[in-house]
Structure 1
Amino acid sequence: MAHDRRCEPLTTPRSEAPVDWLDPARFLRGTAWLDGDRPVRADPADLARLPWDIAERAALPIGVRIEFTAVPGTRAVQVRYRATVPERTDPLAGLRHCFALWHGTRLVGETCAAPAAEATVTLPLPPGGGVFSVHLPEGQAPVPLGLRALGGELSPAPVLPRWLVHGDSITEGWWATRPARSWPATAGRLLGLDPVNLGYAGGARGELALAEQLAGLPGRLITLAFGTNCWSRVPATAEWLYATVRAFVGLVRRGHPDTPLLVVSPVLRPEAEDRPNVLGATLAGLRGAMERAARDLAAEGDGHLLVLSGLPLLGPEHLVDGLHPDDRGHARIAAAVAEVLRPHVPAGAAGAADGLS
């Protein structure tokens, strides 16, 4: 599977001439499953049990990154990839493929290419070397085919503890200006973790098949951040959500009995806070049911279960469309989540975060 990476150096000659392409598998981070060579965000052997919208969103490489260490003097890294090219009549047909290069918490630069079924992009590197992340464009499902250094050496970046993050479109990163500015990506950098983004726009409605898939994924920490789509998209009652949260956590615990697990209730949604849905539940009531379920489980003996209320994290000024946060809002969620998780991060990860910064 994609998350079993090794860190032995893969080197290229110090030459301006092109070198052989390196297998990108050892460099991929943020991966959950592979479908052939394609990173996906749901178990490809278990799609039949998932709603169609979640299966569709799971095909996009949200949060998938290429991470490498470059020696000083390496001029650039080249990434060869394939992607789906929409029909000319598709509104997104002209959307460029933009690859963002990050060094710790700093965006170094972006390289964009015209849509193509297969292409190569070159990302210039600063002269001092170090650990870098390349965030892939999330549309048109790019698949890395190879990478190589120009004028230096590359090796896979150190493997960081994996953090499984399940949620809806807010977790997926909607309205963040770049994939790297979503709250899971930002909190991952703060904590020195490898975030695996399992957010599904329109989904995360308590689908128990996803809980079973989470139970089978290796991870050192887990966060569940859902509930807002239980107000309107698939309406629920507070009693239903209370029981569903208990069942969801119970299924995840079958694979992760002692893993620190943080439940984050829905963030502010002004139109829904006091307005009943078709079943009579307000978002405030749903949020309370979710938090109560998690606290009850903790009181019943789950000593590794944590709860964070989403309501105080954002104000109306942080919402772009009354629902999804802007970059400032994503940063606020990330900071709050990082504060709760920091005491539970495996030893050594915080030092990795300091080094990246």
Structure 2
Amino acid sequence: MNQEMLTTPITADLVRGALDLEYTERGILPHRLPAAARQRIPDGQLAMAEAQPSGVRLVFRTAATLVELDVIATKRVYAGMPPRPDGVHELLADGRLAGQASVPEGDTLTIDMATGTMRTEPGPVRTLRFGDLPGEEKDVEIWLPHDESTQLVALRTNAPVHSVQSGDRKTWLHHGSSISHGSNAATPTGTWPAVAAALAGVDLVNLGFGGSALLDLFTARAMRDTPADLISVKIGINLVNSDAMRLRAFVPAVHGFLDTIRDGHPTTPLLVVSAIHCPIHEHTPGPCSFDPAGLREGKVRFTATGDPAETAAGKLTLTTIRDELARIVKERSATDANLRHLDGLALYGEADHAELPLPDNLHPDAATHRLIGERFARLAFDGWS
């Protein structure tokens, strides 16, 4: 039996977790950085990462038992690398998982790591269907894939849709690296920030950018201008594995990043988080590179290529960064009562690595994302709410 479907325009009041919506000829592309910040992006890596909708979801109230969402996904293909799994969309009804769906086709972005080139070929619009939903009025969230850029084309339901206000829920604004972005997590609600937000009962705005937590001031300015009740910044791994700066530049860059956030949030609780345990970079600086032996086996693994002796000249390691962040926060907290520090080793340390090793030497797997999210919810949100 055919059901009459109602089309609801996808407007900003239905989208959470995005700082900007770009209206293209084909659909609506959520961005996690505003247009002014995107104009400052110096490379394709960050441009790609900020357009991947980690933490972005459609939120509405409806009695619909059937929801359809037309999307254009961007499928990434890395030359010479194993194929990537399709991104997962998850539908939650009143906070409980009620469906998962993927689309197998879309635009294709081919990336050649050897030459640094990217090529995009347009693909089709595809429809996600979530059926057999409870028939009573309920809050629906459709979480977009954390690692697959997705244009929203049309939303259809078999009952009217109403926007939902956030009520008294606090907004948590977080910035970090690919681990915060969700690399190697299996689903969008399985990234560690999504896990922590669900446990703490807060609305997440996730500015975790794969390869791009580099203390960029345009990111700090975006955070400065974004309403938030709680803010956290996770600093370390990208600065080491990109070999982006030395200790002399790192310390004032951290101060500048925090100063910029404080310009817009002078008293908002602000948490500085250091990197989780990562053996390849604990005492060895970057740059980080693909492990050739792993590639010959058809596996993606990373290795550190720096010389530990160069730390004496200011090259950064995770150990150095953790020590400096603890010192910086202690110094600043003398005049900033709402600034706190969290050692990343409390989220995932050496003992955890022995039990749950990083599969590619850099990123946690799905089980470890959950572990980190559970620990963050307990350690970070205590005393904030």
TM-score, normalised via structure 1 length: 0.82
Question: Is residue 342 of structure 2 the alignment partner of residue 308 of structure 1?
Answer: yes
Contact 1:274 1:282 in 2 (8 A): yes
Give unpaired runs (5+ residues) of structure 1. 1-14, 346-357
Give unpaired runs (5+ residues) of structure 2. 107-123, 286-305
Q: How does 1:145-224 map to 2 (within 5 A)?
A: 145-150=153-158, 152-159=159-166, 160-224=169-233
Contact 1:166 1:198 in 2 (8 A): yes
Secondary structure at the residue paired with 2:330?
Answer: helix
Question: Is residue 381 of structure 2 the alignment partner of residue 341 of structure 1?
Answer: yes
Q: CA deviation at 1:165?
A: 0.9
The corresponding residue for 2:115 is none
Match of residue 361, structure 2, among 300, 311, 322? 322
Q: CA deviation at 1:67?
A: 1.7
The corresponding residue for 1:348 is none
C-alpha separation in 2, matches of 1:209 and 1:158 = 29
Q: CA deviation at 1:322?
A: 2.4
C-alpha separation in 2, matches of 1:85 and 1:239 = 40
Distance 1:220-1:266 versus aligned 2 partners, 3 A rule: same
Instruction: State which drifts further: 93-102 or 336-345.
Output: 93-102
C-alpha separation in 1, matches of 2:186 and 2:151 = 22
Question: Is residue 149 of structure 2 the alignment partner of residue 141 of structure 1?
Answer: yes
Contact 2:268 2:338 in 1 (8 A): yes
Question: Is residue 41 of structure 2 the alignment partner of residue 50 of structure 1?
Answer: yes
Secondary structure at the residue paired with 1:336?
Answer: helix
Secondary structure at the residue paired with 2:212?
Answer: coil
- Greater percentage in strand: 2
Q: CA deviation at 1:250?
A: 0.6
C-alpha separation in 1, matches of 2:15 and 2:216 = 27
Instruction: State which drifts further: 251-260 or 267-276.
Output: 267-276
C-alpha separation in 2, matches of 1:282 and 1:90 = 30
Q: How does 1:10-159 map to 2 (within 5 A)?
A: 16-36=3-23, 37-52=28-43, 53-71=45-63, 74-84=64-74, 96=86, 98-103=88-93, 106-116=96-106, 117-124=124-131, 125-150=133-158, 152-159=159-166
Q: State the percentage of identical aligned residues.
A: 29
What one-letter code is carried by the residue in structure 1 that aligns with 2:19? A
State the aligned residue count.
327
Contact 1:272 1:282 in 2 (8 A): yes
C-alpha separation in 2, matches of 1:41 and 1:275 = 32
Contact 2:229 2:268 in 1 (8 A): yes
Q: CA deviation at 1:304?
A: 1.1
C-alpha separation in 2, matches of 1:77 and 1:272 = 45
What one-letter code is carried by the residue in structure 1 that aligns with 2:16? R
TM-score, normalised via structure 2 length: 0.77
Secondary structure at the residue paired with 2:326?
Answer: helix
RMSD over equivalenced CA pairs, Å: 2.7
The corresponding residue for 1:8 is none
Contact 2:12 2:21 in 1 (8 A): no
C-alpha separation in 2, matches of 1:235 and 1:138 = 25
Once the two structures are superposed, residues 172-202 of structure 1 have per-residue CA deviations (whole angstroms, 9 ceiling, x without a partner) of: 0011111111111111111222211111111
Contact 1:242 1:292 in 2 (8 A): no
Distance 1:149-1:94 versus aligned 2 partners, 3 A rule: same
The corresponding residue for 1:354 is none
Q: CA deviation at 1:28?
A: 1.0
